[in-house]
Amino acid sequence: MNTIMGLSRADCRGCYKCIRACPVKSLSCRDEQVRVVDGECIYCGRCLLICPQNAKYIRDDLEKVRSAIAAGEKLYASVEPSCLAAFPGVDMGRMAAALSALGFVHAEPVTVGAAQVTRAYDIASASWKAPNLITTACPSIYLLVQRHYPDLVEQLAPTVGFAVAHARIIRQIYGPRARVVSIGPCISQKYDAQDGENGSAVFASLTFSELAAWFTAAGIDPREMRRKPMGAVADEYFARPGGVIHHLARETRRKWECVAVDGVDRCTEVLDSVRRDGLSGYFLELTACAGGCLGGPILRMMNVPYLKAKDALVHGPGQGTPGPRLLTQGVEADLGRSFRKLAPRRSPIREEDITAVLARMGKTSVKQELNCGCCGYGTCREKAVAVIHGKADINMCVPYMRELAESMSATVVENIPTGVLILNEKLQVEHINPAAVALLHVQGEVCGRSVGALLPSNDFYQVLSTGENILHHKVRYEKPGIVVAQSVVRVQSARTVIVLLEDITHKELESEKHRVVTEETAQFAREVVEKQMRVVQQIAGLLGETAMETKLALSKLTNTLVEQAGEEHDAGH
């Protein structure tokens, strides 16, 4: 796992922008997720700066430093002079006071170590045997050589970087228990702090953005601090390209062709030339960031332009009355270190393996190798090599995926049973699939003709005028003798109109038959009901006559019985 930089998988969208920007292609993309490849990254910060989703992050060492202070450890700060650009209006004296307020025992500029590193280069160059001498002040540069130009490792100066040199000097003066924290605009300093070859002289490394967050959380404004006396130190040139060469001894500059190169792209160009052309006699001061430390990734993340940073360094607030000479100034310490080849070991790649991967991407000829760079790799062959190394997927090839999508779309359109017509903005047929040809009984050439000649419907014009799609509209076309469920969809971005015709003629015939049967059945039911009603009425009439006769007979009988009863009653009396 990469311990310096990481990536939030939830935020990564697989746009390949970081892969295109990475100068050493130390990123892999598998399953649509980009990862930082441990052992290949040089921590230049390009991917961090260019990621549109802010998916990359840097290891935060704040908690480690805070915990050490809380535990009573004595922490010393080694501050890169470009802090004047990161914190406008703050000189080194006020910065030292602000750091003391955070709990640091002491703070001073890293240029104390830079001066001694330059002296070490002077000493080494006098007896140097390698063809060229490459400076190692920038951790990203020595990692670039170790991991990607291992054959040039012997040309690296056997000297530590500025921050490590300063840390060794501080520990020599203040004792081995001194904990040194480097503070600067650099990401690779975090690697330098943990590099075992440096003897762990640096306890931790904070970026300017981490320090700014700490100041905010602690309620400290460095601009309002009372300036601490600060002894005169080496000037600001070390933060700019060519700073080391500027301070080299005259004898060293006479012996070597001194060249300062900044920016990873230019540095790799120089290293390629050294490797390819066998150049010699050069003192190469290489810096990964364009503009030197003033162009560091953290300053760029803090939106500090290069010229503003340079102006802050050269014309920033004065230091006031110089304080006493720093105890570390002029102190010589062991600044030596060794470098070794760290390039990943890989099996040789056969040409047939590359050809096989290219074929899987639909590139069976040189003409098909577009080398468009959309995937992040300069050429299709580089992409194929990355696939073989397990760093890339086939589907990262944008032209291949587009052709695949177009092929799949064409296959679907040509084989679905639904009729499909594709129209241009003038409602002229640009494509018609076989199902539509059979459905409309089309003969002869159709493409280029107005859709109205085939399908006399107002739906197409309505969609163009209103912009609202029409879906599943039942339309009967008399000439072909069909009924269709017609959908008309306008694709605004492509300036086309898509017509979908679902043949529902059979359904309509069945529906018509069902309707006729239903109507006949209903008519029959009505006739039966009417006939039944007539019968009921006749029965009711008969029942009415019988009831009347029965009523009359019963009335007559009742009257007779009443009369008889009266007569019998009178006789008894």
Whether the Cβ atoms of residue 434 and residue 442 lie closer than 8 Å to each other: no
Whether the Cβ atoms of residue 290 and residue 305 lie closer than 8 Å to each other: no
**Helix H or strand E segment including 488:** strand 482-491
DSSP string, 21-53: H-TT--EEEETTEEEE-TTT-----HHHHH-TT
DSSP, collapsed to helix, strand or coil, labels residue 501 as: strand
* Model pLDDT, residue 1: 45
Distance from the Cα of residue 159 to its chain's centroid = 38
Whether the Cβ atoms of residue 486 and residue 501 lie closer than 8 Å to each other: yes
* Model pLDDT, residue 533: 77
* Model pLDDT, residue 320: 57
* Model pLDDT, residue 565: 58
Reported as half-sphere exposure (CB side, CA atoms, 13 A), residue 49 has a value of 21
Separation of alpha carbons 298 and 428, rounded Å? 56
pLDDT one-digit tens code per residue, 31-83: 778 888 888 999 999 998 888 888 888 889 999 999 999 999 999 999 998 99
pTM score > 0.95 for this model? no
Q: Of 82, 540, 79, whose CA–CA distance to 297 is shortest? A: 82
Q: Of 446, 422, 433, whose CA–CA distance to 496 is shortest? A: 422
Whether the Cβ atoms of residue 473 and residue 485 lie closer than 8 Å to each other: yes
Tokens standing for residue 1: 């796992």
pLDDT one-digit tens code per residue, 527-538: 777 787 777 777
Separation of alpha carbons 424 and 427, rounded Å? 5
501 contacts: CB under 8 Å, gap ≥ 6: 418, 419, 420, 421, 435, 436, 439, 440, 484, 485, 486
* Model pLDDT, residue 318: 61
Separation of alpha carbons 284 and 267, rounded Å? 9
Q: Of 69, 1, 340, 79, whose CA–CA distance to 196 is shortest? A: 340
Q: Which residues of the chain have pLDDT under 70?
A: 1-2, 10, 198-200, 232-235, 316-322, 494, 540-573
Q: Of 57, 73, 62, 46, whose CA–CA distance to 9 is shortest? A: 57
Separation of alpha carbons 85 and 289, rounded Å? 16
